[in-house]
Structure formats: structure tokens, C-alpha cells
């Protein structure tokens, strides 16, 4: 049985029940779509093809992998998404079981059913030597830049994720906001809940530009809710420059001026203190 929700040739889904053992996904999908085998292979490499086997569904990348009867092959094809070119991340440190990267603007923390080729994990797995699997530990907004951890074993993934969950990870950001941020008290704490969950941000002024009427601020967060820093600063009357979601008349030519500049923690694998800081030239500049 083939279910097809295709509306245009540029974007569609296809789900195919495998009727016999021995076929490959490339052959199966080329017969069921108008796409060439080469296009399908590229879609597989970029994470748009999935395989369900014994109630387990995961991405299928190997073009020559033999399918079994009762497997289900899924194709999520979107020409525009698959044509996207990932921006290049910068390796900060390779610790073997995990690595630290500078994530640039536009690179995703997590993929979707349509692809994962523009994610930090996929970039890391393809550019480390030796190559190894990559797993997400925490997230940065697509529009944000800065330091991000990527794990390379399931043990490291679980251990590092637990650090974030138990708030044992020191996370520091810098942002450029509109207006003159207060200096008294030295540090302002914002604790407005986000989505009915505790959210705590501590913010202090680093530098103010009278000419631009903008402030460079330091932000330390205890929690990591979605858009936490952006929402807290916007609600306080100091929206981040380039914030097209929570800002005021954000310029389409200015990227979000929010960067994760420091990560420090006790490594759960070695019990050694780790501290990673971003070079000044990669931080927001007034």
C-alpha cells in the first residue's frame, strides 16, 4: 500500500509498505515517485528518508541497505529544504566523547522529518576526524550563535544532558539590546515563568553606546526555556537587536545579537573542570 500526500512536485510525503524482502529504498522510491535515483540518494544522505522496522523508526541513509517484508519506507521530500546549504560551524574543542563547537547563525540544533543536513550534529559527525556519531545535548535558537556541546556516545549524551537538567552547567551569554540597560542594581534578575515553567535570567551591563543607544549585556541563565533570554529582555523593555520575533521594528539585515560565550562544568566522565570561552571576535560588538 502506498499513501501519498503529494500536492506539488516540490514538497510531498510518501509512505510505502514493503511487500517483499530484497528491495532497496532507492529502487522502491524511484518506482513510486517521479524522482531519479540520484535525487533519492541525495535525499537519503540529507536525512529525508526514514525506515520503520519492528515499530522502530529511524533515518535511512544507506542506499544499498536491503529492505525486509513489512518494513515501511517514508520519504519527506521538500526541494527547498533539501537545497539549503548548511553554514559552517567552527570546532572549539574535541574531547573524544564530546566536542564543543561555535554554532553560526542559521545552523540548526535539531533536524526535522524533512532533513537534518543543516544541523550542528550532522555537521559535527561529517567533519570530525575520526568520524563518529553525534547527539544533541542542548539547544541554541536557529537565530542565535555561540558555544554548543555535541556528544558522541550514548553515555556522554546521558551524562551531559543530566548536567543541564540538574542546573550544573554554567551558561553565559552576551547580547546587544536596545536602550540603556540599568546599572543599579549591578545585576537584574528576571524570573517571569515561561510556558508555566520556572525561568531565571541574570543580566548586567557591560557597555553602553550613547551613539547607537544600545547596550552590550551579560546574561547568566539558571534555566533553559525556549526563547528565555529573548522573552525576558523584551518584556523588560530591552529587546535584543535583530530579534524578529520579540523585537521592535527589527531590521531584516541585522542578525539576532545573542551569543553563547561561555560553558563551564565538571566533566561527568573525567570529573575534571572544563571551561570553554568564545574568542572576542565571535562575540557581539557594539
Q: Which residues are catalytic, by number?
A: 141
Residue written as cell 547563525? 105
Closest CA to 18 of 61, 64, 60, 71: 71
Three-class SS state of 126:
helix
DSSP state of 269: T
Q: Is the separation of the CB atoms in 263 and 169 below 8 Å?
A: yes
What sign results for the dihedral spanned by CA atoms 261, 264, 269, 272? positive
Give the whole-angstrom CA distance, residue 198 versus residue 102. 28
Three-class SS state of 38:
helix
Residue written as cell 551613539? 211
Give the whole-angstrom CA distance, residue 188 versus residue 224. 17
Q: Are strands 258-266 and 145-151 parallel, antiparallel or unpaired?
A: parallel
Amino acid at each position: 500500500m502506498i499513501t501519498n500526500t503529494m500536492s506539488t512536485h516540490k514538497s510531498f510525503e510518501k509512505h510505502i509498505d514493503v511487500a517483499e524482502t530484497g528491495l532497496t529504498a532507492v529502487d522502491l522510491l524511484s518506482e513510486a515517485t517521479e524522482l531519479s535515483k540520484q535525487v533519492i540518494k541525495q535525499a537519503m544522505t540529507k536525512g529525508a528518508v526514514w525506515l520503520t522496522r519492528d515499530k522502530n523508526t529511524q533515518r535511512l541513509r544507506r542506499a544499498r541497505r536491503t529492505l525486509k517484508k513489512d518494513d515501511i519506507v517514508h520519504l519527506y521530500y521538500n526541494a527547498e529544504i533539501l537545497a539549503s546549504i548548511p553554514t559552517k560551524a567552527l570546532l572549539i574543542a574535541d574531547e573524544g566523547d564530546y566536542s564543543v563547537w561555535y554554532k553560526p547563525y542559521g545552523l540548526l540544533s535539531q533536524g526535522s522529518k524533512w532533513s537534518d543536513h543543516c544541523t550542528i550534529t550532522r555537521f559535527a559527525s561529517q567533519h570530525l576526524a575520526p568520524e563518529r556519531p553525534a547527539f544533541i545535548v542542548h539547544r541554541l535558537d536557529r537565530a542565535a550563535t555561540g558555544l554548543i556541546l555535541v556528544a558522541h556516545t550514548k553515555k556522554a549524551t546521558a551524562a551531559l544532558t543530566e548536567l543541564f537538567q540538574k542546573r550544573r552547567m554554567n551558561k553565559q551569554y552576551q547580547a546587544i539590546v536596545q536602550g540603556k540597560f540599568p546599572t543599579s542594581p549591578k545585576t537584574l534578575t528576571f524570573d517571569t515563568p515561561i510556558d508555566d515553567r520556572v525561568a531565571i535570567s541574570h543580566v548586567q551591563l557591560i557597555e553602553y553606546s550613547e551613539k547607537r543607544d544600545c547596550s552590550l549585556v551579560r546574561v547568566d541563565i539558571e534555566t533553559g526555556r525556549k526563547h528565555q533570554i529573548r522573552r525576558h529582555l523584551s518584556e523588560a523593555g530591552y529587546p535584543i537587536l535583530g530579534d524578529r520575533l520579540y523585537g521592535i521594528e527589527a531590521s531584516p539585515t541585522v542578525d539576532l545579537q545573542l551569543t553563547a560565550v561561555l560553558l563551564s562544568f565538571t566533566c561527568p566522565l573525567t570529573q575534571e573542570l572544563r571551561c570553554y570561552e568564545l574568542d572576542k571576535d565571535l562575540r557581539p560588538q557594539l
